[in-house]
Structure 1
Amino acid sequence: MTLYRQLVIFTLGLFFILFAGTLLVKFESTRSFLIDQLESHAQDTATSLGVSISQYSIEDDMPAIESMINAVFDRGYYLIVRYMDTKGSVLINRELDVTIENVPQWFIRLVPLKIPEASANVMANWRQAGTIFVKSHPGYAYKTLWENVVHMTLWFLACGIFVLIAGGFGLRLLLKPLVLLERQADALCKKKYEIQQHLPKTKELRRVFEAMNRMTSKVKEMFDEQVTIAEGLRKHAYYDSLTGLGNRRYFENQISARLDRQDSATQGVLLLVQINDLHELNLQKGFQAGDELLKRVAALLQETTKQHENTVLARLTGGDFGIFVPDGTSWEAESLAETLVSQLNQVVVEQLALTDNIAHVGAISYESPTTLNRMLSEADLALRSAQQAGPNKWTVRNLTEETGKMPLGQQQWKNTLEQALAQRKIILFSQPVVNTYDRDKIIHLEIFSRIVQDDGKFLSAGAFMPFTERLCLVSTLDRIALEDVMQLDAAMLSVDRVAVNVSPASMHDDAFRRWILFAIEKLPTKAPRINFEFSELGAVQQMEKIKEFSAIARRHGHLVGLDHYGQSFSHLGYLQSLRPDYVKIDKGYTDELKDVDNDSRFFIGCLCSVAHSLDITVIAEGVETEQQWQLLKELNLDAIQGYIIDRPKPLLNKKNSER
C-alpha cells in the first residue's frame, strides 16, 4: 500500500474517532437533558393539575375533574394521567399506547430511555382528597435524539468528504517531493545522475534531498573515475598522446585480429607514410615545430581516410604513420595513396615543413591470406621504391594469389552482389555465445550471412560487406538476412535469442527503417527474439537513430548490442547515453590476453567495470585458448564467444533446406 493511501486512511480514521467521540458526548448530554426535561415536565403537570382540581374535589365534582384531566391528557405529551383516592382506588385513568413516529425501531431498542413519573396530592380544604399521577410520553425525546443524530451524522459526513478531497489534494502536494526523490533514486539505479535543483521547504525532506544529491554526485564521481582509469589505461597502452592516433601496438593488434578472423575478407590495404626531414626540422626550429607538423599530418590523414569504414590509423614512430583499410581493394590502394600525397602538400602551403618534399607513401594490397610481418615488409619495400622515384611519390605493391573464384573488379562485384540478392542466395551460419562460468549454457546464437557462389562455396560477409555498403546495397542485404532469421523456429534452435549484425548505414534508409519497425512488431511468437548488433564506431556516429530504434525494439522484447567494443577511440562515456544491453569486447584485446600482468588484462577489466556499472552485459569475442578463458573468468566477464566453444556452422532451417 502506498504512503499516500496509508496517510489518507490514517486521517480518515482520526476523523472517524473524532466524529464518534463528539457524537457520543453530544448524544449523552442531549439524552440527559431530555430526561431531566421530561421529569420536570411531568412534575410540573402533576402539581398544576393537582392544584387545579382541588376546588372541585371539595364538591366531589367528578365530571369537572375528568374534563380537566382530559384537557391535559389530550395534548399528547403524556403516557399516563391517573387520579386515585386516598385508598389507592383509581377514579379516573387515561393511558396512551407508546407509538413513536419517524424514529426507527432499531434506534429505540438501541437507546433505552428511563421514562420519568411524578405525582401530586389533591386537597379538599385541609384534608387530602386523592393523588394525581403523571407519566410523560417518550416520543418527543426519541424524536429529538434521532434528529440530533441524523443532523450530526450528515454534518460530519459532509466534513469527511471535504477532508477527503482537500486533505487528499494537500497530501499529494506534501508528498510530491517524495515522488521526485523516487524518480531520482530510480534514475540512479539506471546510472542516470539527476540532481534535484528545487529543494522542498520542509526541513526534514530538505535534509533527505540534500543527502540524496550528495550521494548521486558521489556515485557519478565514482563512475567518471572508472571511465577515466579505463581511458587512461587505453591511452597508455594503445594511444599516441601527441597526434591522438593509435600507436604501433594498437596498429599491429588490430591488423592481427583482422587477419585471424575467419569471417573476414582475405583482402585489404596497408599504407606506410613517412614524413621527410623531421629530424632536421626539430634541430632548426625546435621540437614544438616538429610536433605541430606531426599533428597537422595526423589531422590530414584522418580527414582523408574518414570515408573508409573501420580504418586503422596510427603513428608508428617518429614521422612514420600506418594506415590499414580492411576489405580495401587494389584500385582503392592507388586512389588512397595518390590522395594522401596530394593532401599532404597542404603542409607546404602552410609552411610547416623545411622543404617541398613532404612525404612518401608505400602501399600494399592483398587478396589472399597473408601475415602481418609480410605485409609490413612489403609495404616497407614499396616505401623505399617511392623514395627512389623522387619527391612526394607513392608506390603500390599487390600481394595476390590467383584463385579465379572471386570477382576483383568493382563492376564484377556489383553484378555478383545484385544477382545474389535478387536470387536470395544467402545462407545463414551461427556461432554460440555461452556463459563464462558454464560453457554448456548458451546465451544466444550469433547469425552470420554467407553468399552461395556458383561453385557451391560460401563467400563470407567480411568479403562482400564493404562492397554492399559502397554500392548502397547494405540495407537490402540486412533485410534479406533479417527476413530469414524471422522465419526461424526458436523451439528447433533450442535458444530463444539470436544476434544479427545490422549496418548503421541501414538506419539511414527510411524504407528499411519503416520495414524493420513493422517487422519486429508483427514478429511471430514462435520466432526467436532478436539481438540487433551494431559496430561501436557506427553506433557512436549514429547515436540518436540507434537510441530511437533501441527504445522501440526493447518494447517488443528484443535487445541491442555493440560489436567490437573498445575498437574505436570514442570516449567510454557514450555508454551512459546509448545504454546497449550488452557489448562485445573487440578480438584485438582478447588476443593480447597472455598472462596476468599483461596491461590488456587491466584494460579489459576496466572496460568490464565501466559496462557493469551501467548494468550492461559484457561478452568477449575471439576466445580461442583455455588460458584466455581462465583470465576472462577472473575479470568477471559475463559471456564468451570464439573457437574454444565452436566454429560458425550452417544454420539448419526451412530456407536452407530448400536450397
Structure 2
Amino acid sequence: MNSTYNLPLVLMSLLVAVLASFATLELAGRLASPAHDGRRSRWLFGGALSMGVGIWSMHFIGMLAFELPIKVGYSLRITLASLLVSIAVSYLALRIVSVSRLSIRRLILGGILMGLGISAMHYIGMEAMLMSPSIDYDAARVALSVLVAIGASLAALTIAHRLRRQDTARVLYKRLGASALMGAAICGMHYIGMSAALFPADSVCGALDDLNGNWLTITVATLTIAMLSITLILCAAERHFQSKTEQMSTSLTLLNRQLLRLATVDTLTELPNRATLVQRVARAITRSKRTGVPFAVLFMDLDGFKTINDSLGHSVGDGVLQAFAQRLRQAVRRHGTIARIGGDEFVVVIENLDTPQDASVIASLILSHMEEDLVVDGVPLQVTPSIGIAMYPRDGMTVDELLKNADAAMYGAKENGRNTFRIFEPEMTRIAMRALSIQRGLQEALAQGHLSLNFQPKFKGSIEKLVGAEALIRWNDPKLGTIAPLEFIPVAERSGQILQIGYWVVSETCRQLVEWEKDGLPPTKVAINLSPHQLRQRDLVARMRAIVDEAGIAPQRIMFEITESVAMQDAEKTVAMIREFHSHGFEIAIDDFGTGYSSLAYLQQFRVKQLKIDRFFTDGLDKHGDEAYAIVSAIIALAHSLDMDVVAEGVETQTQLEKLNSLLCDQVQGFLLARPLTSEAFGALLRGRQSAVGTPA
C-alpha cells in the first residue's frame, strides 16, 4: 500500500522536536543549578512530563503526517502506553544529565537505554493503529532507526550535560543550535522508522472508533506547544528570578566586603585605619607579654600639611597623603604595620625590638626616605614628618597609653624643630596636655572675646615724635590665666588657628583705628605681623583688603611685617606677594632683619617700606661696642641706599638710643620710650602728643 506525507505536519513535527530539545536543555540547566537542590524532585518530575509529552507529540504528529489511502485511527490505550514510555525515557535522560560528572560508561549506558526507549515508544505508537493484517517491518531499516535513536540519544545527553550550567559563555545561542541538531536527529530516527513500516494492500485499520487523526492533529500540536512554551516560560522566569537573586546576593557580598573594608581600611591610602591599628597593637601587646620582647609605636604627622591643604586645595592634600603613604611603605616594608588614623596622622608598629635605639633606626630610615620631594599633580612638595616613639611596656601598658605617649613624643619632635623624632619622656605628657589645652582655649578665646590687642608705640628717633605703633596680641584666659604669645602663637601656627587669629587682629586693629578717629585723635599707622602660615594663603591679600575696606580704613594706614627668614624661604613667591600687597595700597616691612640669610638681589626686589633691625643687634650696641656699631651702621646705610626706612627694635637704654640717632636710624621702639599699651592707654598717648604726631607717609 502506497503512503504519502503531509508536509506542513512534517514541518510541525520538526518544530515540536526542536522545541522539545530546547526545553530539555533548559530543564537540564535548571536541575544543575545549586539553587534548585531543595526542589530537585519537583523539577525532575515536571521536566520529565514536559519533555516526554514533547517527544511523544513530535512522534505522534509525525505519524499523523503519514497518510495512507485508507482511513486511520489510533488505539487510546496503546497511544497512552507510548506516551508513558516517552515520559519514562525523559525522566531517565534528565537524571543522567543532571549529575555533576558524567562518566563515559554512564553516558554510553544512558544513551543505549534512552535510544531503545525512544525506539520502543515509536514502535508501540505504530502498533496503536491496530492494522490488520499486521504491519511488516524492514529489519535493516528498523535496526538503522534504533542505531540513529541511540546515536541521537548519546549526542543529546552529551550536549545537555555540557550546556547544563547557566554560566557557560553564550549558553543561549549554543542551546538553540544544539536544539536544532537534536530535533533533526530525533525526526530522522522517526522517519527512518516510519519508512521501515510496510502496509499490505488489503490492510484495514482496527482503531477507527478510538482516536481520529483529522481533529487530533491540531489538538495535540496546540497542547504540546502550549505545554513546552509554558515550561520554557517557567524556566525563563526562574532564570530571571535566580539572576536577580544572584545579583542581589553578589551586591550584598560586595556591600559586606565594602563595609568590612570601610571598617578596617583607610580608603584614601589603602592603609589599615585606626580600628585595625588598635586591634594589631592589642595583639602585639599579647605577643610581647608571652615572649617578653618589647615593641615600638611610632606616631607621626606631616609638618605643614594643613598649610598645603588650605593653600593648594584638598585634592592636592589628598595626593600628598597618598604619596606619603606610598613612600612610608617603601621605608618600612616588612618591618611593621603602617596605619593612617586620621587627617595627616600615621602610625607604624615595629615588633621584636630590644631597645628604643632600634626604633630610632627605623625612624631615621623613614626621615631619610622623606628627604626627596613628593610630586603631586606635577608639583614637587617638601613634606616631612615629625615622629614620636613610645615603647611597650616601658611607656605604656595599654593601646591608649602607647598611642597617647607616642603622640606626646611627636609633639616634642615638633618643638625640637620638626622633621625629626623624639623618644617619649614622662615630661612630654605635661607639655602635650598643655598644648592641647591652649589649642582648645584659643578656639573659645576667639568666640568669647578673651583676646585683646596692645600697641607698641614707634617714635622718630631724633625727636621722639610718635609716628605709629605695632599691634601685639594678648590673651588672658579665665581658666588658663595669662598666656604669653611665645607660648600660644606656635600652637596656633601648628593647628592652623593662626589664620583665624590673623584676620581677627587686622579686623580689631581697623576697629580700633576707627574708634580713635571718632574720639578726634589724629590718624596713625599700625604695623601687624604676618605668620608663615598666613603667607601661604593664596587669597591673603584680597582678604586683608576686604577687611580694611569694610572698616572704612585706608590701606596705607596698615603696614604688614614679614620676618626675614620667612621672606627668604621662597624669595620669588615673597616678591610676588609683596607686589600684590603694594598693588592694594598696603606697605610691607621686613622684620628681624639680620637674623636670616638675605640675598641683596632679592632685598632690592622686595622694595619694602621698612627694615626692622632685630633686638639682638640693638642690644649689642651696649655689649659689643664697635663691632655691633659697625653692623648696625651697615644695615642702616644699606636700607637707605635702597630707599627704605629703618626701625630699631628693643631700645631699652639711653646709650642705645643715642647711638641709633647718631647713625640716622629713622624710627625706634622699645621699653625705654614706651611699653606696649592697651588701646585706651595708647589713645591717651596720642591725645597727649596730638600736636607732635606725624602724618602717615
Tell me the TM-score normalised to structure 2 length. Answer: 0.35
Q: Taking structure 1 as the reference length, what is the TM-score of the superposition?
A: 0.37
> Which structure has the highest helix share of the two?
2
